[in-house]
Every structure is written in structure tokens, then in C-alpha cells.
Amino acid sequence: MTRSIWKSTAEKTNFPTLKEYINTEIAIVGGGITGVTAAYLLAKSGRKVVLLEAGTISGGTTGDSTGNLYSMIDKRLHHIQSKWDKETASNVARSRGQAVDLVERLVNEHQIDCSFKRVPWYLFSETNEKDEVIEKEIDAAADYGLPIEELHELPLPVKVSKAIKVKGQAQFNPAAFVSGLAEKIDPANCRIFENSEVHHIEKEEELVLSTATGTVTAQKVILATHTPKGIYGLQTALYPYREYAIAAKLNSGDFPDGIYWDTEADFHTSLRTYSKGNDKYVLVLGGHHKVGQEDDYSRFFRKLEQNARKYFDVSEIEYEWSAQHYKPADGLPYIGESSDDNIYIATGFSTDGLTYGVLSAMILDDQFNGRENQWSDLYKASRFTPVKSAKNFIKENINVAKQYLKDLPGKAEADSFDEIAVGQGKVVVVDDEKWAVFKDETGQVHCQSAVCTHMDCIVDWNDAEKSWDCPCHGSRFQATGEVIEGPAFSPLDKRNLDKKE
Ligand code: FES
């Protein structure tokens, strides 16, 4: 089983399951960094809030992130500058900087034990072919007043041609921060429920949120679910990708804390350290592919391990995990009400989600309290940017269309259940219908329809995470069909075939 170092080391929360009817002002779906920070701020300003988390607090993408907080972005500020303009890129950096400052204030105010520290962020090239990227980022960062330095070597056993250093960025254990903050939310104004998955949201006079054992009605809803649940036109402008991470104990060859990004390698695109007791770990992150569109998912872990051992003296790989992110078509997240329906979203964070999650909470808190927020328009969810989105929009939606074409009746991955190895899944055609069939460790076969319950794409078996992943909009389901993440509300439809090896 994959498991992140953050989820494995953070204190667990213990909030109840929703088993009642509650009427409230604001319902928040999702207990990651966006949902919990929004709940904290809104409760503090006196709003009545209910937070519903499908699993456990910080048990989703927040707990699978890098734990890095920074003003820059993975697409590079100079790309935002060329796609939008200088002012937009500057505002992105400034707004993200304010979010990092808020995390620091909350950690200090509540003494949250999450290893928060200010560290530098580095971007480096290994050969002079990518020096231009560094030079452009140096120019962009200098324009926005970020505290930068140009370097030609780093305290890393990696070859460096050119690098930029930006001081004053930050790292923490994101799961420990979110769990710690959830415990500090004013209980008089906010009730939190775990293991309370929302199956349905109905738009009546108020919004009605249903779980298996309870109901919440609310005037407004925040979908802090990474990508909005249900069917939204916006999903044509959000593109789901996965990225991989490993953590291994350093035997020797320590290097200073920092966020190290490489411009060139497919793998080890990001490096950092984390200390647990007397042990220091190196975290190596990289690999990148569209959700549900790989043949061999485990190869990413193997490649990361190979790279870790090439550069560092490490013992065994103790943690390995992957995480999902959604790239926005025009390079900026969508935060706010996407249409006039009292449902607010915060999505399209790319791999910069921890900082954008906190920023979303700040923006939504201001909006709900009638306060002006200087970043609201920059990130507004209802924006339409056909020119800035065109290139990505066309490329990514052709990709989605191809996934539907692949789903036409055709060859299955296995002709019989006997071809499925223990612990693996395959798509099998049964009576002209595609089934997602998983064989568990006891040899028991679990059958469900392979048709994604969001918008009918055929799911793909992810051998690294033991999940069914949808290549169209990124819904993911457990091996036995339950929803893990993504826009789908409902599990894969069960199919009955009593077959045992
Ligand atoms: S996530 Fe949209 S069809 Fe599967």
C-alpha cells in the first residue's frame, strides 16, 4: 500500500460521523487545507458552518502533497506574465505570499506542531540548455520584489548550471497543520464530521447535502474537494494529472532544508528534506502523467528510487505515494461562485495547492463576510478566457474525446478472470459490457461496471495505487468501486458474478 510520510506521522483527528439533520449557513465539503482553513476563518468571523469530510481530516490530497509553501508557481511566473501580463504575475506572487504568511501566523498563534519553518526556494538547471528558463524566472521574480539571488552551485550532489534562490518560503507537515488547525476551530460556530461522504447535493430553496446517515441544509456550499463534485462546464478547463513521491532515510550526506526544483529532469523534479525524531529523510518527487492514461504506474516509483540512490546515500524507501492535481486551462485557479447557484468552488491549483488552498479560504472568507478582497477578480471562478485557454483547451479536450473513442466496444484487457493476477485488476468484457474486475489477496473476485459514474468514460486499473482511475476528468475509485476522489459522486455500479479461483 502507498502511504505518504505526512499521513503516517501526523496526529489523527477523531470527529464524529454525521447522524442527524442540521440546518446551517455554510456547508463545506472536504477537510483538506482549503476546507479546514475556510472553516477556521469563517467560524472565527461568526458564521455558522458545518464541515463534512468523506474520510478523515487531511486524509485526501493535502496529506499527499509536498508540504512546500511558496510564492512562485510550478508553471513559472514568467509564463503567467507572457500568457496574462506583468501585473497578473505580480499579483499571483503577492497573493500567494500572503497565504504563506497566514499559515505562519496560525502556526504561531495556536502553537500547531507541524514542523513549520521558513526555507529558501531554488529553481536550477543542470545544463545550459535550460539556463534561459532560470534567467526568465530571475527577471520575473526581481520585477515582483521577491528576495532573489542568482547562483551557479547548490548544496546538493546534483550538477547545477544556473539557479535562482528566493528566500523566505516555507515547509511544514501539511497533514499535521490541517489536523492541528481543525482542533482549534471554534466549536460554537463550526461542527466537523468525518467519515461523512456527501453523495448528493440538491438545489431546493436551500442547498441539501445528503450523506448515508444524515442531511445538512445550507444557504451556501463550498466544494473544497479539489475539483468540483458533479457535472460542471468548468471541467472542460481542468485537466487531471498525477505525480509521484518517495521518502527515504538519509544515511549520510545531509543537505540544508529548502525547496529544490529541477528544470530538466522528468524525475526528481522536486527535492526536500524532513526530520522525524533523529532521522532525516530525503523526499524525491517527480513523474507526471494524465490520470488513467498509463500502462505501468509502478514504474514511476522505481524511477524515483533509482534517482534517489544515484544522488543520495539512503536506506530503504519507507514511504511512497502519489497525488492528483488539476491544471487550469489559462494558468490560474478558479475560486468563488462559478454560476449563480450559491455553490463556491476552489480548484485548478496545479501542483501549487497548499498555498492556493489557504488563499482560497482567505478569499471566500472575505466574500462571505462582505469584505473586499483584492484577489477575488484575479481568480474568479466564472471568468471566461477563450484566448488564454485556447491552446490547453483544444489539446486537453481532444485528449478526453480520444478516451471516449477508446471506450467503444473493442478488445478487453483480459478474456477471462483467470488471467487476472492476485492483487490486480483488469477490464473484462462480460455480455458485451465492460466490467472493472479486481482479484483480492484471497482470490475473491470483485466485479463492477467499468463505466465511470461521472460522465461514462471507461476506468483504467492503476497498479501502483490499486485503484480504478478515470482518464476523462480524474475520478478515482477503490479496487472495490467506492469513490476516492474526483467529480464522481457515486461508486462504480456493482456487478454480480460469483466466481472464485
Ligand atoms: S471523471 Fe468524468 S467521466 Fe470519469
User: Quick one: 272 and 154 in the same domain?
Assistant: yes
Same domain, 319 and 442: no
Same-domain pairing of 122 and 244: yes
Task: Give the pTM.
Answer: 0.94
SS3 state of residue 480: coil
- Say which residue the cell 521577491 belongs to: 146
Q: Which of 36-50, 170-184, 297-311 has the lowest mean pLDDT?
A: 297-311
Contact 488 CB / ligand 1 (< 6 Å): yes
Q: Determine the pLDDT at residue 159.
A: 87
Average pLDDT, integer, range 470-493: 96
Q: Of 271, 295, 323, which residue is a domain's last?
A: 323
Q: Is residue 341 a part of any domain in this protein? A: no
Question: Does residue 233 sit in helix, strand or coil?
Answer: helix
- Tell me whether residue 108 is exposed, middle or buried, using C-beta atoms within 10 angstroms of its C-beta: 0 to 12, 13 to 18, 19 or more: exposed
Q: What is the pLDDT of residues 358-380, one digit of tens each?
A: 999 999 999 999 999 999 999 99
436 and 313, same domain (yes or no): no
Q: Do 140 and 277 sit in the same domain of this protein? A: yes
pLDDT digits (tens, 9 = 90+) for 90-101: 999 999 999 999
Residue 358 located in a structural domain: no
Average pLDDT for 402-414: 66
- Determine the Cα–Cα distance for residues 41 and 27; give it in Å rounded to an integer: 14
* Distance (Å) from CA 475 to ligand 1 centroid: 6
Q: Are residue 319 and residue 424 in the same domain, yes or no?
A: no
Give me the CATH number covering residue 456. 2.102.10.10
Tell me if 283 is assigned to some domain: yes
248-263 pLDDT, tens digit per residue, is: 999 988 889 999 999 8
Side-chain-side CA neighbours of residue 413 (13 Å): 20
Classify residue 182: in a domain, yes or no.
no
Given this model, what pLDDT does residue 265 score? Answer: 63
Alpha carbons within 13 A on the beta-carbon side of 200: 9
Query: pLDDT tens digits, residue range 45-87?
Result: 999 999 999 999 999 999 999 999 999 998 899 989 988 999 9
Domain boundary at 265, 292, 323, which?
323
Which pLDDT does position 367 carry in this prediction?
97
> Does ligand 1 lie within 6 Å of residue 486's CB atom?
yes
* Better-scored residue on pLDDT, 319 or 340: 319
- Domain-embedded: residue 222: no
The reply to whether ligand 1 has any atom less than 6 angstroms from the CB of 165 is no
What pLDDT digit, counting tens, does each position of 149-176 carry?
999 999 888 889 999 999 999 999 999 9
pLDDT at 397: 73
Between 382 and 336, residue with greater pLDDT: 336
Ligand 1 mean position, distance from CA 200 (Å)? 16
Q: Single out the residue of 319, 263, 375 nearest to residue 66, CA to CA.
A: 319
- The three-state secondary structure class of 404 is helix
What single string gives the DSSP state of each residue in 94-123?
A: HHHHHHHHHHHHHHHHHT--S--EEEEEEE
List C-alpha distances in Å: 291 to 101, 459, 462: 33, 10, 9
Instruction: Tell me: do 298 and 444 sit in the same domain.
Output: no
Asked if pLDDT for residue 501 goes beyond 60, the answer is: no
Q: What pLDDT sits at residue 499?
A: 46
Residues 137 and 248 in one domain: yes
Number of domains in the chain: 2
Which structural domain range is residue 444 located in?
A: 417-485
Q: In this structure, what CATH number is given to the domain that contains residue 311?
A: 3.30.9.10
**124 with 246, same domain?**
yes
